[in-house]
Amino acid sequence: MRLSGLVALAILCLAVPPTLGDDWPQWLGPNRDSVWRETGIVDRFPQRGLRVQWRAPVELGYAAPAVAGGRVFVMDYRLRAGEVTNNAGGADRLEGTERVLCLDAGTGQLRWKYEYDRPYRFSFGGGPRCTPTVDGAMVYALGAEGNLSCLETQTGRLVWVKNFVKDYGAATPFWGVAAHPLVDGDLLFCVVGGPGSVAVAFDKRTGREVWRALSAEQQGYCPPTMIEIGGRKQLIIWHGESINGLDPPTGRVYWSVPLKPNVGMAITTPRQFGPYLLATGYGDVGVLLKLAADQSAAEVVWRGGAKNAVYCANSTPFLEDGTIYGCDIGSGALMGVRLTDGERLWQTLQPTTGATRRGRYGTAFIVKHEDRFFLFSETGDLILAQLSPQGYTEIDRFRMLQPTNKVFGRDVIWSHPAFADRSVFARNDKELVRVSLAAE
């Protein structure tokens, strides 16, 4: 009896699915703040290296994965004709299929895919840019030419679709659509483009337009960002001419501050630190704002110049304890910068290009975990490090993927990882990999 009871208990345990860890359901994580809050994570990498749990084939794309409910969602591009040139001065002309893939998070097996024919006519045409946004039973996927699809997470069935070019007269940005969709409450916020519709709020269930706002010659690449100030939510939209605070339910503009980066390159997510809001972009364009608690205004604390601040493009900076940590466009270095006045405190190429010489657009994606940081370098390395006003201290490094893209004469991966289920999920242009970060 005792043995049969143990056998029955073992069978029951095998029948119960393993407990899922935290999700990473959208750009920059559950709260879009680049913080991973899961527990039971390694504080050093094993001497033998981290354990690779699975590898799954994917194709071209900068789009980061999202992980939710035991599934991984990622976009890619199956090239049929044409050549990806990565020529910043001209557009690629490609023929192919844009796809949304859903994989099993435990095994890497394909659950479903949704695909459509999509010619590309923009520069750096190597695939979609936007991380899928998962919201319960729905996932929202935005392609590089402005195709927005709402799909069922379980089946991949199409619920509704929008085409920014046809529906709003929006011109595809020179480097493709890159502003990750944002769900808040019943609304889906997108940067669209076209007259009066740089920002559009949709009913997330039906795709019905709720409001549209703002005009600009270039809508830019910066995702819609939700902050809280004075106990109320405020939607931040930074396009190619200004940064703006809006009322989320109505689209009414509270305030607007001129902030015009070169060639429309408003890219990185604005960062909040208490009443302060930081935005930095191409052309030594950056600003620190102090927001009024009554939502009415934004005061300029300082603007960037050639020798202060940090100017980010591929990766979003992180703000902590009065210090900005970000990867500079011009030097390619990770920098520590004082928030109050923009003074540069230190810089290093070690976690970006890994080189001793400057490399433009050197990239490391920065995620905080407890008292340390995980950085995913453009070299394909996952790095565990300490960041402080005093400097950068590397603890461990593990090669996760081989770079498959080439820009400015060097091999790179420019795709943000996802951290979920005590693992890291990352992709290049050939495969998506899951690597365990569970403490043993």
Does the pLDDT of residue 38 top 80, yes or no?
A: yes
Q: Which of helix, strand or coil describes residue 17? A: coil
pLDDT of residue 430: 98
Does the pLDDT of residue 274 top 50, yes or no?
A: yes
Does the pLDDT of residue 357 top 90, yes or no?
A: no
**Segment 212-259, tens digit of pLDDT:** 999 999 999 999 999 999 999 999 999 999 999 999 999 999 999 999
Across 17-31, 99-113, 131-145, 287-301, least confident range: 17-31
Q: How far is CA 374 from CA 34, 39, 395, in A?
A: 10, 14, 10
Q: What is the mean pLDDT of residues 363-381?
A: 98
Does the pLDDT of residue 125 top 60, yes or no?
A: yes
Scanning the structure block, which residue is given the tokens 């919201």?
135
What is the band of 2 on the pLDDT scale with cuts at 50, 70, 90?
very low
What is the band of 20 on the pLDDT scale with cuts at 50, 70, 90?
low
Does the pLDDT of residue 13 top 50, yes or no?
A: no
Q: What's the chain's average pLDDT?
A: 94
Please provide the DSSP assignment of 234-279 as one string: EEEEE-SSEEEEE-TTT--EEEEEE---GGG---SPPEEETTEEEE
Share of the chain above pLDDT 90, in %: 93
pLDDT of residue 440: 82
Across 18-22, 73-77, 124-128, 409-413, least confident range: 18-22
Q: Output the six-digit token pair for 335.
A: 């920098």
Q: What is the mean pLDDT of residues 66-95?
A: 97
pLDDT of residue 15: 38
Q: Where are the beta strands (DSSP E) in 164-208?
A: 182-184, 187-191, 199-203
Q: Which of 182, 335, 321 is nearest to 248 (CA)?
A: 182
Q: What is the mean pLDDT of residues 36-40?
A: 98
Task: For residue 39, give the amino acid letter.
Answer: T
pLDDT of residue 7: 37
pTM for the structure as a whole: 0.94
Per the CB < 8 A criterion, the answer to whether 276 and 292 are in contact is no
Domain extents in the chain: 21-168
**Segment 135-184, tens digit of pLDDT:** 999 999 999 999 999 999 999 999 999 999 999 999 999 999 999 999 99
| Residues shown for the chain | 440
Q: Which of helix, strand or coil describes residue 289? A: strand
Q: What is the mean pLDDT of residues 289-309?
A: 95
Distance CA 219, CA 173 (A): 7
Task: For residue 161, give the amino acid letter.
Answer: V
What is the band of 9 on the pLDDT scale with cuts at 50, 70, 90?
very low
What is the band of 8 on the pLDDT scale with cuts at 50, 70, 90?
very low
Q: What is the mean pLDDT of residues 333-339?
A: 98
Q: Which CATH architecture has domain 21-168?
A: Beta Barrel (2.40)
Q: What is the mean pLDDT of residues 327-346?
A: 97
What is the band of 1 on the pLDDT scale with cuts at 50, 70, 90?
very low
Per the CB < 8 A criterion, the answer to whether 68 and 20 are in contact is no
Strand-pairing partners, residue 71, are 68, 104
Contacts for 125 with CB less than 8 Å, ≥ 6 apart: 82, 84, 85, 91, 92, 94, 144, 176
Distance CA 82, CA 80 (A): 7
**Segment 135-146, tens digit of pLDDT:** 999 999 999 999
Q: What is the mean pLDDT of residues 178-200?
A: 98
Distance CA 420, CA 25 (A): 9
Q: Which of 33, 72, 51 is nearest to 367 (CA)?
A: 33
Does the pLDDT of residue 403 top 90, yes or no?
A: yes
**Segment 383-399, tens digit of pLDDT:** 999 999 999 999 999 99
Q: Computed from CA positions of residues 307, 328, 199, 32, in that sequence, does the dihedral angle turn out positive or negative?
A: negative
Scanning the structure block, which residue is given the tokens 């001209």?
90
Q: Which of 192, 260, 184 is nearest to 223 (CA)?
A: 192
